[in-house]
Amino acid sequence: MDRFEWCDGNLYTGEQLVEQQTGVALYDGQEKTAFEIGILTLTTHRLMWRDHRNRSCVLCVPLSLVVYLEEQPSGFAKSAKIVVHLSPAPSQKAAGPVSSSNQSFVRLSFREAGEKEASIPPRHRPGIVGIERSLDQRNKQMNKNISHAFEDLSKLMEKAKEMVTLSKTIATKIKEKQGDITEDETVKFKAYLLSMGIPNPVTRETHGTGDKYYTELARQLASMLAKPIEESGGMMTLTDVYCRVNRARGMELLSPEDLMHACELMEMLGLPVKLRVFDSGVMVLQSQSQNEDEIVNNTTALVTEQTSLTAEELSQLVGLSVVLARERLLLTEKLGGVCRDESIEGLRFYPNLFHSSEV
Footprint on this chain of other proteins (rule: CB under 8 A): 308, 333-334, 336, 339-343, 348, 350, 352-355, 357-358
> What is the nearest approach in angstroms of other proteins to the Cβ of residue 282?
17
Comparing CB distances to other proteins, the nearer of 322 and 347 is 347
Distance of CA 311 to the CA centre of its chain: 37
43 vs 352, beta carbon nearer other proteins: 352
- Residue closer to other proteins (CB basis): 115 or 333: 333
CB of 286 to other proteins, least distance (A): 22
Nearest CA among 251, 264, 262 for reference residue 198: 251
- 158 versus 292: smaller Cβ distance to other proteins: 292
Which runs of consecutive H residues, i.e. helices, occur in the chain? 115-118, 120-123, 125-176, 183-196, 204-207, 210-231, 238-249, 256-269, 292-305, 311-318, 322-334, 353-356
Distances (CA, A) of 218 to 199, 223, 272, 312: 16, 9, 11, 32
Shortest reach from residue 314's CB to other proteins, in Å = 16
Nearest-approach distance from CB 294 to other proteins, in angstroms = 20
Min dist CB 339 to other proteins, Å, is 4
Between CA 271 and CA 21 the distance in angstroms is: 89
Nearer to other proteins, 283 or 339 (CB): 339
Q: Are the CB atoms for 287 and 275 separated by under 8 Å?
A: no
Nearest to 56 by CA among 8, 4, 3: 8
Q: Which is nearer to other proteins, 275 or 338 (CB)?
A: 338
Question: Closest approach of Cβ 321 to other proteins, in Å?
Answer: 23
